[in-house]
């Protein structure tokens, strides 16, 4: 029997076939999980619908994570269709291009607010909205996506690194709050992957090359490897793990010089 047979989940952040969120969704679906997906705007709707065509029992819903009414609507519909929820994947991040490319000291006040609202606070909002459906399952698992730039100053990552630091702190506090409800909250800190979002980072090509040269495994991480790590954290295999940031980066984070 597949590991996640009879389980349900929702994935936020699928943009195209190179998305980390899509790699995670594929791993979950492979093990039998029924999934709901969200998209923001008509531009991404067609992409998500095309990808999910091979999952006939999936649910596809619009959602702007900065609008509470839309968040509530998504989970209300998931509740009506699925009746419960076992897993939530948060793969959502954004910062205005100008603020992302500028030195951090030049970050605008508005850009700072936008980056934190979308990249960090949304995890809190989505998790809170999911709680009634997790309770129907007797608990649940939440997974967020982060990057090493949350812990160390990474050239070119700038404002997003600060927003990811907020996200990682949110993971820990949510885990502490929700452990008594049997809801686990973890994050994956993946090595650089050539996604659409990553291309917005100044000097990203050089980042990929540097990572492959310095990581102990001497290569970059593959999307499938991130998906498999997510499968572990969202399944009963990791039942005693919460509040953690798991590095899936070929060991890059352990290197000093």
147 is catalytic: yes
Asked whether residue 56 is assigned to any structural domain, the reply reads yes
Asked whether residue 255 is assigned to any structural domain, the reply reads no
Asked whether residue 3 is assigned to any structural domain, the reply reads no
Burial 74-109 (b: 16+ CB within 10 A, else e): bbeebeeebebbbbbbbbbbbbbeebbbbeeeebee
Helix (H, G, I), strand (E, B) or coil at 200: helix
Asked whether residue 185 is assigned to any structural domain, the reply reads yes
Please give the pLDDT value at position 141: 98
Asked whether residue 1 is assigned to any structural domain, the reply reads no
Please give the pLDDT value at position 179: 98
Asked whether residue 180 is assigned to any structural domain, the reply reads yes
Asked whether residue 256 is assigned to any structural domain, the reply reads no
Q: What is the pTM of this model?
A: 0.95
Asked whether residue 218 is assigned to any structural domain, the reply reads yes
148 is catalytic: no
Task: For the chain, list residues with pLDDT below 50.
Answer: none
Please give the pLDDT value at position 199: 63
Q: For residue range 76-114, list pLDDT tens digits in order.
A: 999 999 999 999 999 999 999 999 999 999 999 999 999
Helix (H, G, I), strand (E, B) or coil at 238: helix
Q: Give Dmax over CA atoms of the chain in angstroms.
A: 54
Kindly report the length of the chain. 257
Please give the pLDDT value at position 200: 60
* CATH number, domain with residue 89: 3.40.50.720
Q: Which of 39, 121, 148, 157 is catalytic?
A: 157
Domain tally for the chain? 1
Q: For residue range 45-80, list pLDDT tens digits in order.
A: 999 999 998 888 999 999 999 999 999 999 999 999
Q: Which of 39, 147, 148, 252 is catalytic?
A: 147
Strand ranges inside the chain, DSSP E: 8-12, 34-39, 59-62, 87-90, 140-146, 183-190, 245-248
**Structural domain containing residue 113:** 8-250
């Amino acid at each position: 029997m597949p590991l996640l047979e009879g389980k349900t989940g929702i994935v936020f952040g699928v943009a195209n076939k190179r998305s980390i969120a899509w790699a995670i969704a594929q791993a979950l679906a492979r093990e039998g999980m029924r999934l709901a997906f969200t998209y923001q705007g008509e531009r991404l709707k067609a992409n998500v619908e095309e990808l999910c065509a091979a999952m006939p029992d999936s649910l596809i819903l619009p959602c702007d994570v900065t609008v509470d009414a839309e968040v509530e609507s998504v989970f209300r519909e998931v509740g009506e269709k699925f009746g419960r929820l076992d897993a939530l994947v948060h793969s959502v991040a954004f910062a205005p291009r100008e603020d992302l490319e500028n030195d951090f000291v030049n970050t605008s006040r508005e850009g700072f607010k936008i980056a934190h609202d979308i990249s960090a606070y949304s995890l809190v909002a989505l998790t809170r909205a999911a709680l009634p459906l997790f309770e129907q399952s007797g608990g649940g698992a939440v997974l967020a996506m982060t990057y090493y730039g949350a812990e160390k100053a990474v050239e070119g990552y700038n404002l997003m690194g600060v927003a990811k630091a907020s996200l990682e702190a949110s993971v820990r506090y949510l885990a502490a709050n929700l452990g008594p409800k049997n809801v686990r909250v973890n994050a994956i800190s993946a090595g650089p992957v050539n996604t659409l979002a990553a291309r917005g980072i100044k000097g990203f090509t050089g980042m990929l090359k540097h990572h492959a040269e310095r990581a102990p495994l001497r290569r970059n991480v593959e999307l499938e490897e991130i998906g498999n790590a997510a499968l572990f954290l969202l399944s009963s295999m990791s039942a005693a793990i919460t509040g953690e940031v798991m590095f899936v980066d070929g060991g890059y984070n352990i290197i000093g010089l």
